[in-house]
Chain A
Amino acid sequence: MMDADSFTAFHEQLHRWVRERLVPAETEVIRINRVPDDIRAEMADMGLFAITTPEEYGGAGMSISQYIATMQEISWAAPAFRSLLSINVGMVTTSLKGGTDAQKAEWLPKTAGGMVAAFALTEPDSGSDSAGLKTRAVRDGDHYVLNGTKRYITNAPFADMVIVMARTHVEALPKNAHISAFIVPVDTPGVTIGAPDEKMGQTGAQIADVIMEEARIPADCLLGREEGRGFQTAMQSLDNGRLSIAACSAAYAARALDSGLKYATERKAFGEPIAGFQLIQAMLADSKAEIYAAECMIRDACAKADTGARVTLEASCAKMFASEMCGRVVDRVVQIYGGAGYLKEYDAERFFRDARLYRIYEGTTQIQQLVIAKQMLRAMDG
């Protein structure tokens, strides 16, 4: 982990950078539907792609608390910024840490330096039920031949490398040992990236299909050079991914509320600012309390995770609560804005659309309910 003083110095500066650089660039991000190149370069220069990379590979080696706090800070701005680095610092880095020394030495400095990598698990017919995964990887001498389609792959249009989960056994094995992870350079013949999907919100973040047709990759690209470990690798990063979504839900709710609060003090009705009306105040107060609750959950879960404890239950609780909470807050902010809240000209409308995704990805609220209940029942049996 980073020492506390250095992290504080970094965090304070990040807070400023987000407000001085990212927020003013939001209009441009929406106009060009991507993070502008100069901001992307600045993100790389500042070391944001390297926050979770171990120090020996050129990273900051942040603790879970520090990593999540960083994501939370960035998520004050439009989601596209966080999205661009979230896969690198989350699933990709976690996966690569499970690689061989040679794989780590080759790829970690690149992903830390700002080369965008994607993580491909979801398919047209399988999502959280990873057992039904269809993409095949067949050994052929010194190579593997990959066939299949991955769907909703974040950053695929920007990526130079994709970590692909593929089936190395036809029949399903216990603990999903039929799934292996592969490091697939995007320029591999037979690999194509589909056109970016058009989304409800989160403009500037891009997702697309990753299609593999007879894509031959060297056997060295098998992550960890061991078949059957892919699913475990994927699962290791799930708890952190959920904490990350919880953190950006809390941050985006705070951003929306800040915007709603300002609007309420400026907009007048019946001769006074609407912030003076108690029914508006109720919406502001409920939102504030809920954001605070989510922040406390996230901090608690992160502190536990820092000790090395598994936080599957806490991460799911935090993700479910924070994302649903964010949905309620952005809805209230649209309400506070009134008619203006329904217009694209004002921020409230965009916050409302952007936030909808938080209740869906990294496991829907319904999946979180299953995870939480499963943990409870298991503890009861145990």
Chain B
Amino acid sequence: MKILVPVKRVIDYNVKPRVKADQSGVDLANVKMSMNPFDEIAVEEAVRLKEAGTAAEIVVVSIGEQKAQETLRTGLAMGADRGILVVSENMPEPLAVAKILAKIAEEESPDLVILGKQAIDDDSNQVGQMLAALLGWAQGTFASKVEVAGDKVNVTREVDGGLETLALSTPAIITTDLRLNEPRYASLPNIMKAKKKPIDEKTPADYGVDTAPRLEVVKVTEPPKRQAGEIVPDVDTLVAKLKELGAVA
């Protein structure tokens, strides 16, 4: 089995994001970047399938600026075999990303594409679903358990009412939820080996994909500051206060 794992370089989850003064987006100058945590879970799942003897090869793909190569190296250090870097200085929108990935999937013919359910920078949560539609492949989104059984892949999803298990025919698309696994820390020897693993460099043009934006960001703002609360002595005071604020009639 061959697995394709797209990974995105995003602002590190420990960093407190700050909005640019002109409200055009989040300020990324000199900010620590790392692999999208959901993508780490995707790589981990692929590596576990490889360790279990189910998967033979893992290919990691990243679309973004040149530095996304570091993100690919992280995936290679975790256990992926090779990487594909699609260099695009402006981050393409989800549809363009899905189109590029669809072309790569056609070239690579993976049995599974495992993606993070969303990236923590724009929280779009679209690429996996769009990719499944473009390819016409089965999809199991928000996976909390993945089990390969013969030519089927059983994906357990966390839905509002409980757990739903889907049996997917391969090739298939899986997007990972937080509880699927706990990604490993790459070992020092594996980090050193990752340096020697091959990374192919491409551009969106190589795949004939137009990455011109279809969407316009109007404004990015910080979440409103939380107002200080007030402790009231009893219910009567509470009701009176709420009436005063016009929150209840």
The residues of A with any CB-CB pair to B shorter than 8 Å are 2-3, 5-6, 9-10, 12-13, 16-17, 21, 42, 45-48, 50-51, 58, 60
A6–B191 touching, CB < 8 Å: yes
The residues of B with any CB-CB pair to A shorter than 8 Å are 32, 34, 70, 73-74, 77, 185-189, 191-192, 194-195
A17–B195 touching, CB < 8 Å: no
A50–B188 touching, CB < 8 Å: yes
Report how many A-B pairs have Cβ atoms within 8 Å.
43
With known contacts A6-B194, A9-B73, A9-B74, A60–B188 Cβ distance under 8 A: yes
Q: For A42, what are the chain B residues with a Cβ–Cβ distance below 8 Å?
A: 185
| CB pairs A–B below 8 angstroms (30 shown) | A2-B192, A3-B195, A5-B70, A5-B73, A5-B195, A6-B192, A6-B194, A9-B74, A9-B77, A9-B191, A9-B194, A10-B188, A10-B191, A12-B32, A12-B34, A13-B186, A16-B185, A42-B185, A46-B185, A46-B187, A46-B188, A47-B187, A47-B188, A47-B189, A48-B188, A50-B188, A51-B188, A60-B188, A60-B189, A60-B192
Q: For B185, what are the chain A residues with a Cβ–Cβ distance below 8 Å?
A: 13, 16-17, 21, 42, 46
Closest to A9 in B: B191
* A50 to B189 Cα, complex, angstroms: 9
* A218 to B188 Cα, complex, angstroms: 35
Closest to A7 in B: B191
Q: For B188, what are the chain A residues with a Cβ–Cβ distance below 8 Å?
A: 10, 46-48, 50-51, 60
A6–B195 touching, CB < 8 Å: yes
Min CB gap B70→A, angstroms = 7
Q: For B73, what are the chain A residues with a Cβ–Cβ distance below 8 Å?
A: 5, 9
Min CB gap B47→A, angstroms = 14
Min CB gap A69→B, angstroms = 13
Chain A interface helix/strand/loop/mixed = helix
Q: For A50, what are the chain B residues with a Cβ–Cβ distance below 8 Å?
A: 188-189
Min CB gap A118→B, angstroms = 23
Interface centre among B32, B74, B186, B189, by most A CB within 10 Å? B189
Closest to B193 in A: A6
* A51 to B187 Cα, complex, angstroms: 11
Q: For B74, what are the chain A residues with a Cβ–Cβ distance below 8 Å?
A: 9
With known contacts A2-B192, A3-B195, A60-B192, A9–B70 Cβ distance under 8 A: yes
Q: For A46, what are the chain B residues with a Cβ–Cβ distance below 8 Å?
A: 185, 187-188
The 5 closest A-B pairs by CB, nearest first: A47-B188, A47-B187, A10-B191, A46-B187, A17-B185
A45–B187 touching, CB < 8 Å: yes
Min CB gap B66→A, angstroms = 13
Q: For B186, what are the chain A residues with a Cβ–Cβ distance below 8 Å?
A: 9-10, 13
* A342 to B73 Cα, complex, angstroms: 47
* A17 to B193 Cα, complex, angstroms: 20
* A10 to B185 Cα, complex, angstroms: 9
Closest to A19 in B: B14
* A46 to B189 Cα, complex, angstroms: 8
* A42 to B195 Cα, complex, angstroms: 22
Q: For B189, what are the chain A residues with a Cβ–Cβ distance below 8 Å?
A: 47, 50, 58, 60
Q: For A58, what are the chain B residues with a Cβ–Cβ distance below 8 Å?
A: 189
Min CB gap B34→A, angstroms = 7
Q: For B195, what are the chain A residues with a Cβ–Cβ distance below 8 Å?
A: 3, 5-6
Min CB gap A17→B, angstroms = 5
Q: For A6, what are the chain B residues with a Cβ–Cβ distance below 8 Å?
A: 191-192, 194-195
* A10 to B186 Cα, complex, angstroms: 8
Min CB gap A206→B, angstroms = 25
* A21 to B185 Cα, complex, angstroms: 10
Min CB gap B5→A, angstroms = 18
Q: For B192, what are the chain A residues with a Cβ–Cβ distance below 8 Å?
A: 2, 6, 60
Interface centre among B70, B73, B192, by most A CB within 10 Å? B192
* A127 to B40 Cα, complex, angstroms: 50
* A81 to B34 Cα, complex, angstroms: 26
Closest to A55 in B: B192
